[in-house]
């Protein structure tokens, strides 16, 4: 096992000020990119991203992927945290909305989001980013926090740029496209 990436340590659940979270994310992403460089297997990449995003986003209680496995259907992929729902249809929850609309969902208060799926009652905010690569929606990255407003617009934008930056196009996604 490697030591992962080099970042200051904080206890799980710590909500750092937004400026510190953004700085931490900017410090982490080049390291994360270097770790997955050259790997073409989507599960290997998603598992590694789930692990390293878990280290980066200390405010999370769940961090991982839902994958498109059939038209209108997501199934859980690699993740860190408590047990997640196994399947999420596109018409349900925050993940479903991100998949259906192919739009990032930044939800500061999940109690105010109609249809939110409470896999973990402790979750209070979410950030879900769709992954579109090689001509198809492949899944979503789901980050959950027990803090209201656990994620900000700048973190969302930086993550969108990272995941949409082109390198994920080159993974062996199979024939969904």
Q: Could you identify the residue written with the tokens 């496995």? A: 69
Q: Does 139 bind ligand SME (CB under 6 A)?
A: no
Instruction: Show the binding pattern over residues 1-40: x = contacts ligand SME (CB under 6 A), - = does not.
Output: ----------------------------------------
Q: 12-51 burial, b for 16+ CB within 10 Å, e for fewer? A: eeebeeeeebbebbeebbeebeebbeeeeebeebbbbbbb
- Candidate ranges 20-28, 36-44, 93-101, 129-137; the one touching ligand SME (CB under 6 A): 93-101
| Least Cβ distance, residue 86 to ligand SME (angstroms) | 10
Tokens of 37: 């460089």
Q: 117-126 burial, b for 16+ CB within 10 Å, e for fewer? A: bebbeebbbb
Q: Does 93 bind ligand SME (CB under 6 A)?
A: yes
Q: Does 78 bind ligand SME (CB under 6 A)?
A: no
- Candidate ranges 20-28, 116-124, 130-138, 162-170; the one touching ligand SME (CB under 6 A): 116-124
Which residue's CB comes closest to ligand SME?
Answer: 93
User: Which is nearer to ligand SME, 26 or 111 (by Cβ)?
Assistant: 111
Selected binder of ligand SME within 5, 73, 85, 134 (CB under 6 A): 85
Separation CA 144–CA 71 (nearest Å): 25
User: Which is nearer to ligand SME, 42 or 93 (by Cβ)?
Assistant: 93
Alpha-helix residue ranges (DSSP H) falling in the chain: 18-36, 42-56, 93-101, 153-163
């Amino acid at each position: 096992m490697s030591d992962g990436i080099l970042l200051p340590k904080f206890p799980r659940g710590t909500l750092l000020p937004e400026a510190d979270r953004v700085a931490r994310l900017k410090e982490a992403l080049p390291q994360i990119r270097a770790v997955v460089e050259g790997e073409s297997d989507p599960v290997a990449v998603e598992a590694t991203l789930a692990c390293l995003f878990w280290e980066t986003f200390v405010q999370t209680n769940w961090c991982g992927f839902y994958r498109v496995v059939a038209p209108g259907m997501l199934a859980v992929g690699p993740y860190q945290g408590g047990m997640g729902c196994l399947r999420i249809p596109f018409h349900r929850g925050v993940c479903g909305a991100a998949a259906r609309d192919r739009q990032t969902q930044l939800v500061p208060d999940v109690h105010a989001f109609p249809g939110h799926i409470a896999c973990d009652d402790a979750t209070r905010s979410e950030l879900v980013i769709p992954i579109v690569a090689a001509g198809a929606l492949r899944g979503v990255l789901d980050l959950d926090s027990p803090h209201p407003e656990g994620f900000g617009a700048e973190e969302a934008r930086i993550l969108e740029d990272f995941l949409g930056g082109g390198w994920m196009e080159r993974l062996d996604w199979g024939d969904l496209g």
